[in-house]
Amino acid sequence: MGSPKALLPWHGSTLLRRVVGLVGRVVDGPVVVVRAPDQVLPALPADVEVAEDPVEGRGPLAGLHAGLTALDGRAEAVYLSAVDVPLLHPAFVRRVLGALDGDDGQGPADAVLPEAHGHRHPLAAAYRTAVAARVAALLEQDRLRPAYLLDQLDVRRLDEAALLHDPALRTADPTLASLRNLNGREDYERAHAEPEPAVSVARFGTLRPVGVRAPVEVLASSVARAAAAVGLELDRHVVAAVDGDRISGDPDVPLAGGETVSFLSAEAGG
Amino acid sequence: MTPGGYFGRALVVDLGTGTAEALPLPDDVLRATIGGAGLGSWLLDRLAPAGVDPLDAAAPLAFVFSPLVGTPLTTSAKLAVVALSPLTGLPSDALASSHFAIAGKGTGHDAIVVHGRCAAPSVLVVEGDEVRLEPAGDTWGRGAADTEEELRARLGRAYRVAAIGPAGERLVRYATISTDGRHAGRGGLGAVLGAKLLKAVAVRPVTKVRPADPDGVLRAAADLRTRSLGPATAKYRELGTLANLLAFNALSTLPTRNFQASSHPQAADLAAEDLGPERRVARASCAACTIGCAHFYAASGGGKVRVEYESVFALGPLCGVTDPDAVLTASRRCDALGLDTISTGGTIAFAMECVEQGLLDEPWLRFGDAAALHRAVELTAAREGVGALLAEGSRRMAAVVGGDSIRFAAQVKGLELPGYEPRTLQAMALGLAVNARGADHNRSGAYEADFAGGHDRLHGGAAHVAAAVTSEDRAAAMDSLILCKFLRGVFQDPFPEWAALLSTVTGWEVDGDELATTARRIVVAKRRLNARFGATAADDWLPARFLDEGLTVASGREARLPAERLRAMIDAYYAARGLGADGAPTAATLAELGLPPVAV
Ligand code: SF4
């Protein structure tokens, strides 16, 4: 790739910043980035935690182990994501995590494994934190492939049809681009050249031009890009909310297709 | 020597005898309490007999000024009205901006306190140290604005007047005291004056305030004026507080149908973004204010009506009403009758849900029915029919209505909730639960941290507790100095900046740390005073609805506030404030802050 994946630029932001924002939007608990020895990370939100992966090159189970260790006692389940998935949609994360709790009537499981586009996706999957001991045991035995872990677990497998059974995901990401990872420079360049996601921009209060009642649609992969698209200057007096939920003054907050970003005065209240 | 900005004394008027005496306010008391809400707490502690009922003749009520009043510092022309609240039974302070603050201080006093009861409906006239009672005459029964006008016509334009409306006369437990069209609104202090048969207080200035460093004050005022016209106040200047409504709706923080929902599908009908350009006929400022957040819309049937988010939310979506004319008419009637719009809307919305649940036999009182809303407002002020019940506020009403209605009476300590949904603003949830005067957005602005996005607003924890503590401390300082909260965004480093203003006016050398400690002392002093008047840890809690029922925000995420989470936040708040498990300050905390024991 020529530069570490985490640092790859993505429309004014970076791949890692984008992915932590998209995952963080769905989960209630902390977001942990697992850093390889000496790995340089891009700027990340203050509440993102960084866990060290002590040994280079031991693969995803070692990363999962470092993350689970950092989360010890603070979460019941995790969504595990690779860094090279800029087209990840929060609806995908929601679908996978939801299946772990059996919210589609299938009963709870130890892990949820998407199987789509001809592959299993253990790096776009959900795990109960209780699996940590088994991960540790496998690492001890030098059995480093995720399949060894999955073989030991009660795994709920979601194929394309099962994934898209969720109407929210079907609308947000009908081709399951969430699972498209970038394996080489070409993949990256092709994905980066595609149009940015279509999002709605709503403005409130003095930020809304007189008479503009409906949100406007723009192509923008982050809050900063959306603001620029409608000619809005971001400063400490403006905050943005995504889908009427998370609020932030950070211009690098990522956006995904179909989301609505609302700009409002930081001077709340009265 | 008395510090700059003060006279070092309060005027204490016995309404039973029509006589007055001066109460000295020593330098150390002023420095420890500043003025406004802080000094008001001290006065109440000193003058209120133990166990006195808020509507008893012996209960004192204080109009408290501050060192900044009378200076050219923008937004400083404010006063705090401090008394025991007929709604909560606990100490309460209600702030208002007006020329009354400047003129009242110009009588040569840092506070004017009344106690006792007039023999007949009266007006108290204060000129310097001279006081006299005059018959209220035909102002009794009339609105506060009319009364103010008539008294100034009768006494002279140099007089400034604070008055109650018919609701205060009839002891509605959330009646206001009004001056210059602004209201000391929350907690029902208008009923305290009503119980004293005191229609109004008229003051005439006889002296001027002298700051320690007049040139320094002028320089600070010029600087503050410039900053007050920057982006931090744009929202207030351009649209007013109603600008909150549409954004709050999008963020699921707009209380709707007695907090059964947190957004209303027709909220856009009440948007300031559209109504402002279409209907605004005037914009005005309080006395000595450069911001001017008061926006007036043309009212149906002629005239104009002042528009505020809190009034529109409470008389609008909270009651299921979104027709702007209907909501503005209700708001205008509340102002004329002297009713706190938040508690009026909150109590009517509660009654509407009681009807919906079959607990109250008033079938006409339905959510979304504008005519019913208007009828309920009039009945409340007149205490007629179901109005006699409504006039008691939602907590007392729930005790009468029975069933499980208390679980959805949206109040804390008896004070109805303002327009901030606690489940989707969980720092604010804590602020509402623990604040000394009850559910309130002016003494705790913790919602600011929720809206800033530094923490997950749907998941209360340590960051939310820290935000609630900081917010209360800042509010205590602003309410005692006094400066308008809408100015808060212009201060980057508030305590040192406020301390510099205070030093320039008083001549004290106050730094940011001292002022921060003073603010903390004021908050703790209120908790101490609450304990003296019977508040316990059980009063720091939210109604069951907020803990048992979840909400779904627009993203699809669930907002829940389980009781254990609220408990954990309150425990952490107690620890941060130095309060014991009973909610009262510990002996060590009182000693550290130089406050007396709870029972004196
Ligand atoms: S900002 Fe508004 S409320 Fe504050 S002093 Fe000015 S006009 Fe009054």
Stretch B433-457: mean pLDDT? 94
Q: How far apart are CA B522 and CA B528, in angstroms?
A: 10
Q: How far is the CA of B148 from the centre of ligand 1 (A)?
A: 20
> Considering only CA atoms, which of B234, B432, B343, B485 is closest in space to residue A270?
B485
Ligand 1 atom, smallest distance to B288 CA:
5
The type of residue at B330 is A
Q: Tokens in use for B478?
A: 């602003």
Pair B260, B252: CB distance under 8 Å: no
8 Å CB contact of B232 and A239: no
pLDDT tens-place string over residues A195-213: 999 999 999 999 999 888 8
Question: SS3 breakdown of chain A: % helix, strand, coil, rounded to 5?
Answer: 30, 25, 45
Q: Which CATH architecture has domain A195-269?
A: Roll (3.10)
Q: Tokens in use for B317?
A: 């979506």
Judged by DSSP in three states, A128 sits in strand
Stretch B469-475: mean pLDDT? 98
pLDDT tens-place string over residues B505-518: 999 999 999 999 99
> Which residues of chain A are within 8 Å of residue B241 when distances are taken between CB atoms?
269-270
pLDDT tens-place string over residues B232-263: 999 999 999 999 999 999 999 999 999 999 99
Q: Which CATH architecture has domain B9-204?
A: 4-Layer Sandwich (3.60)
> Which residues of chain A are within 8 Å of residue B243 when distances are taken between CB atoms?
204-206, 265, 270
8 Å CB contact of B243 and A265: yes
pLDDT tens-place string over residues B340-350: 999 999 999 99
- Is B308 within 8 Å of chain A by CB? yes
pLDDT tens-place string over residues B91-102: 999 999 999 999
Ligand 1 atom, smallest distance to B292 CA:
7
- Of 3.90.1200.10, 3.30.2350.10, 3.90.550.10, 3.40.50.300, the CATH number of A5-190 is 3.90.550.10
Per-residue pLDDT at A102: 83
8 Å CB contact of B556 and A270: no
Q: How far is the CA of B293 from the centre of ligand 1 (A)?
A: 5
Q: Taking 90 as the threshold, does the pLDDT of residue A7 lie above it?
A: yes
Per-residue pLDDT at B299: 87
Q: State chain B's mean pLDDT as an integer.
A: 97
> Considering only CA atoms, which of B61, B174, B74, B34 is closest in space to residue B115?
B61
Q: How far is the CA of B585 from the centre of ligand 1 (A)?
A: 33
Q: How far is the CA of B235 from the centre of ligand 1 (A)?
A: 12
Q: Taking 70 as the threshold, does the pLDDT of residue A2 lie above it?
A: no
Judged by DSSP in three states, B591 sits in helix
Q: Tokens in use for A62?
A: 């070692």
Name residues whose C-beta falls within 8 Å of residue B198's C-beta, 6 or more positions apart in sequence: B15, B114, B118, B121, B122, B123, B124, B164
For chain A, domain boundaries? 5-190, 195-269
Interior CA angle at A67 toward A62 and A72, to 5°? Answer: 125
Which residue, chain included where needed, has tokens 């039974």?
A: B89
Judged by DSSP in three states, A199 sits in strand
List alpha helices for chain A, DSSP H: 15-24, 60-70, 90-100, 132-140, 146-152, 160-164, 167-172, 185-193, 223-229
Backbone φ, ψ for residue B423 (5° rounding): -70, -30
Pair A242, A30: CB distance under 8 Å: no
8 Å CB contact of B244 and A269: yes
pLDDT tens-place string over residues A9-52: 999 999 999 999 999 999 988 999 999 988 999 999 998 999 99
CA closest to B443 among chain A residues: A270
Judged by DSSP in three states, B184 sits in strand
> Considering only CA atoms, which of A117, A261, A112, A263 is closest in space to residue A197?
A261
Ligand 1 atom, smallest distance to B75 CA:
5
Contact B589 CB / ligand 1 (< 6 Å): no
When computed from its CA atoms, the radius of gyration of chain A, rounded to whole angstroms, is 19
Q: Taking 80 as the threshold, does the pLDDT of residue A180 lie above it?
A: yes
> Which residues of chain A are within 8 Å of residue B446 when distances are taken between CB atoms?
none
8 Å CB contact of B252 and A242: no
CA distance A94 to chain B (A): 10
CA distance A234 to chain B (A): 12
Stretch B540-559: mean pLDDT? 96
Q: Which of residues 209-268 of B touch A (CB under 8 A)?
A: 231-236, 238-241, 243-244, 246-247, 250-252, 268
Contact B107 CB / ligand 1 (< 6 Å): no
- Number of Cα atoms under 13 Å in the Cβ half of residue B213: 15
8 Å CB contact of B241 and A168: no
8 Å CB contact of A210 and B557: no
Backbone φ, ψ for residue B162 (5° rounding): -115, 130
Q: How far is the CA of B428 from the centre of ligand 1 (A)?
A: 23
What is the layout of strands, in order, in the sheet containing B78-84? B19-24, B9-14, B111-115, B61-64, B78-84, B91-97
8 Å CB contact of B251 and A269: no
Contact B74 CB / ligand 1 (< 6 Å): no
Per-residue pLDDT at B219: 97
Pair B187, B88: CB distance under 8 Å: yes
Pair B430, B202: CB distance under 8 Å: no
DSSP output for B47-95: HSPTT--TTSTT--EEEE--TTTTSSSTT--EEEEEEE-TTTSSEEEEE
Stretch B307-319: mean pLDDT? 98
Which residue, chain included where needed, has tokens 């509660």?
A: B350
8 Å CB contact of A213 and B309: no
Q: Which of residues 530-559 of B touch A (CB under 8 A)?
A: 553-557
> Considering only CA atoms, which of B353, B260, B257, B245 is closest in space to residue B308?
B245
Which fold is adopted by the domain B422-592?
1.10.599
- List the single residue in B234, B246, B441 with the smallest CB-CB distance to A269: B441
Interior CA angle at B441 toward B528 and B177, to 5°? Answer: 80
- If one counts every other C-beta atom within 10 angstroms of the C-beta of residue B446, the result is 30
pLDDT tens-place string over residues B362-396: 999 999 999 999 999 999 999 999 999 999 999 99
Which of B296, B306, B484, B485 is the best mutation target for the ligand 1 pocket, counting ligand atoms within 8 Å of the beta carbon and taking the most? B484
Pair B220, B501: CB distance under 8 Å: yes
Contact B478 CB / ligand 1 (< 6 Å): no
- Range(s) of chain B covered by CATH 1.10.569.10: 218-409
Contact B350 CB / ligand 1 (< 6 Å): no
Per-residue pLDDT at B343: 98
8 Å CB contact of A244 and B231: no
CA closest to B425 among chain A residues: A245
- If one counts every other C-beta atom within 10 angstroms of the C-beta of residue B384, the result is 13
8 Å CB contact of B252 and A247: no
Q: How far apart are CA B55 and CA B451, in angstroms?
A: 39
pLDDT tens-place string over residues B181-233: 999 999 999 999 999 999 999 999 999 988 999 999 999 999 999 999 999 99
Q: Taking 60 as the threshold, does the pLDDT of residue A1 lie above it?
A: no
- Of 1.10.569.10, 3.40.50.300, 1.20.810.10, 3.30.310.50, the CATH number of B218-409 is 1.10.569.10
- List the single residue in A47, A205, A242 with the smallest CB-CB distance to B273: A205
- Is B471 within 8 Å of chain A by CB? no
Distances (CA, A) of B225 to A190, B220, B229, B480: 54, 8, 7, 20
Per-residue pLDDT at A3: 66
Tell me A123's DSSP state: T
Q: How confident is the model at residue B300 (pLDDT cuts 50, 70, 90)?
A: confident
Which residue, chain included where needed, has tokens 């009672």?
A: B133
β-pair type (A155-159, A111-116): parallel
Q: How far is the CA of B306 from the centre of ligand 1 (A)?
A: 13
Best A247, A255, A261 residue to mutate vs chain B (most B CBs within 10 Å): A247
